[in-house]
Amino acid sequence: MESEPPRESEWRHDYLTDRKVIIAGNRSNRPGAYSQKMSFESIARCPFCHGNEADSPLQLHRARLKNSRTDWDVRVVTNLYPALEASSVKGYGRHEVVIEAASHTTQFAGLSPEQIFLVSQVWQERLKELSQVSGIKDILLFKNNGPAAGASLQHIHSQILAMDLVPASKKLELAQALAYWKANAGKNYFTHWREEETMVAHRVITDGSFFSFCPYASRAPYEICILPRRVQPFFTGVDPEELLELSVLLKDLLEALGRNLNDPDYNLVLHQSPVQAGVLPYYSWRLEIIPRLTVEAGFELGTGYAINSMPPELAAQQIREWLSNAQETKIPLV
């Protein structure tokens, strides 16, 4: 691999997803390279705010911080407009919303590490409970932060979709990871991935219990992947001490992006093993942060290939600098 950001356009391939992208750094200076930030439609009353609980659907779970002044700080409800439903035969599943703050908060990075830790604990609890539901085969947890990322409400929240099938993209990842494991005497691909990025170094952002980097074949400008150093197939296996470190890391990374990219809309996606697959020795959970600074146009829609105008080597360098300049950064930088 190259030792500096590419000066010319090039195709890159991601082994795990078998996905190809074009890295075209020469396009970053063109007019309209990064799309304008979209705004939410105004609403008279937010159904996610404390005091408006009657406006939201069935409550499934609530949690509160120690010494909290409210009766809940994180709340889980069924989705008012579910993509999948328990009562549906042809679209069976569960669709939940995790309301991540009682007050009308619009940025996840604005939460304290303790609040993000509480949210992460609720994520674990809901993933664990949904994995026990009959017929559920895979669960996706994600955040659509901002209208460009697909959010319809400004109040910060995440969603959990439990499905009665394993998506084709997940099946491909499992097959790729298994093939690597078999071809390399039982070595986990995710361990190899972290070691390879560490050797190359210039795409690495932080290295601790969790390893953050801008992937070689990033689909979007400033895309970040977070891998656990302790490889495990399920997010529910992260212990409390690690979870607190992950909470600090998420806050610092999202603050850095927000401060320097004008609070971009973004998607956060948690990938983990299918729930009925057991403990797979060759697969690991991971988190992706994908800023929505560009839009899919004709080429992307026509081919399925992304064009990324920000080389990940340069993106990682800038994010490291942003973290270094932040007064309260406490995570180990490379």
Q: Give the catalytic positions in this structure.
A: 157
50 annotated binding-site participant: no
Pairing of β 306-308 and β 19-23 = parallel
In the block, residue with structure tokens 């983990």: 272
**Position of tokens 């979209």?**
38
Residue 214 marked as a ligand binder? no
Q: Is 155 among the annotated ligand-binding positions? A: yes
Contacts of 106 (CB under 8 A, 6+ apart): 154, 155, 156
Exposure class string for 290-329: b at 16+ Cβ within 10 A, else e = bbbbbeeeeebeeeeebbbbbbbbbbbbbbbebbeeeeeb
Between CA 213 and CA 47, with CA 101 as vertex, the angle to 5 degrees is 125
Give the count of beta carbons closer than 10 Å to the beta carbon of residue 149: 18
**C-alpha angle 75/76/79, rounded to 5°?**
135
49 labelled as ligand-binding? yes
Residue 187: count of CB within 10 angstroms of its CB? 14
Which residues, including other chains, have CB under 8 Å from residue 129's CB and lie 6 or more apart? none
Alpha helices by DSSP H, listed for the chain, are 113-130, 168-183, 189-200, 240-260, 298-303, 312-325
Looking up tokens 């999202």, which residue turns up?
254
Distance CA 326, CA 328 (A): 6
- Separation between Cα atoms, residue 231 and residue 244, nearest integer Å: 17
User: Which residue type occupies 125?
Assistant: E
The annotated binding site for Zn(2+) is made up of 46, 49, 104, 155
The annotated binding site is made up of 46, 49, 104, 155
